Amino acid sequence: TERIILDCDPGHDDALAMILAAGNPGIELIAVTTCAGNQTLAKVTRNALSVCAIAGIDVPVAAGCQGPMVRPQMVAPDIHGDSGLDGPVLPAPVRELDPRHAVDLIIDEVMAAEPGTITLVPTGPLTNIALAMNKEPRIIERVKQVVLMGGGYTRGNRTPAAEFNIIADPEAAQAVFAGAWKVVMVGLDLTHQATADAEVVERIAAIDSPLSEFVVEILKFFGKTYREHQGFDAPPVHDLCCVAWLVDPKVFTTRSAFVAVELTGTWTTGMTVTDFEFLLGQAHNTDVAVQLDKPLLWDMTVDAIAALSAQ
Ligand code: BDR
Ligand code: CA
């Protein structure tokens, strides 16, 4: 089993990542931590607790950073709505928030576990992860790997060059890529292949449970904003792909590269500059996700929703 801490900003695709992590027997979800991103910290934290309530997820949830390390805050209401998780009725939280700050929860869990056993899965801006590295640098060698959703090597979505999670806190992202740990970058080149097509939504609806209805509402709202603002036929469920790869690494192929975040560009700030060759003369520091097995992704996701619906 893969033991993970999911550091997220739910967020429609973050919610799906939580559900797959909780509903797949190969993943042990140790905790959910939240970071301001798609919406303010208060909103995304409340959303995380609502997802826990509807999906029966019984793990610690801790709130983290209120905003990026250096720059003004950026949120994404155009894609995720005013609540950060618009669409479904959000159930009242049933569990209390963990009293710790997310950064302290991450440090506590990593330092208490056997070295090399905990994977960090950041699916929002990287503020919490960068601060945890700074507060307790020993986590860097103790973490098994960091499997993050962010960036891209051929495109952006917030600007032509930059993806949202990276541009929302580029200094934090750069610290994470530069850290002496294994990083897997699940960027837009991969996640834009992970669309929830009508056929997928029908399979989820057929499970016919309160949770499956919740997921269908999530995908409908996400589909609408992606159609209107990004010109997609179906919504790409980015964050889900990170967890899916930990369930089964056959879900996508990777290529090794050097990745650095542009911090001073006139038009390219937040770009994940990706060197698959050695053009920059830098050692490779990242495994970059390239090609998705989409049927495998949706099979395991449908299975997880069915499993949580049955419990
Ligand atoms: C990323 O940004 C957020 O809007 C999504 O939740 C995902 O993590 C995609 O660029
Ligand atoms: Ca996210």
Residues 6+ apart with CB under 8 A from 295: none
* Structure confidence at residue 256 as a pLDDT band (50, 70, 90): very high
CB of 272 within 6 A of ligand 1: the answer is no
The residues annotated with a catalytic role in the active site are: 238
Give the pLDDT score at 197. Answer: 98
Instruction: State in Å: Cα 71 to ligand 2 middle.
Output: 19
Assess contact for 270 and 170: CB atoms under 8 A.
yes
CB of 11 within 6 A of ligand 1: the answer is yes
Give the pLDDT score at 237. Answer: 98
Q: Which ligand is nearest to the CA of 159?
A: 1
Residue 218 CB: number of other CB atoms within 10 A?
27
Q: Indicate which atom in ligand 1 lies nearest the CA of residue 12.
A: 6
Q: Indicate which atom in ligand 1 lies nearest the CA of residue 191.
A: 9
| Mean pLDDT, residues 13-25 taken together | 98
Interval 80-115: pLDDT, tens: 999 999 999 999 999 999 999 999 999 999 999 999
pTM of this prediction?
A: 0.98
Instruction: State in Å: Cα 118 to ligand 1 middle.
Output: 23
Residue 203 to residue 213: CA distance in whole angstroms: 11
Interval 162-210: pLDDT, tens: 999 999 999 999 999 999 999 999 999 999 999 999 999 999 999 999 9
Q: What is the predicted ipTM?
A: 0.99
Instruction: State in Å: Cα 14 to ligand 2 middle.
Output: 5
| Mean pLDDT, residues 209-231 taken together | 98
Give the pLDDT score at 181. Answer: 98
The residue contributing the CA closest to ligand 1 atom 4 is: 38
Give the pLDDT score at 165. Answer: 98
Interval 269-310: pLDDT, tens: 999 999 999 999 999 999 999 999 999 999 999 999 999 999
Average per-residue pLDDT in the chain?
98
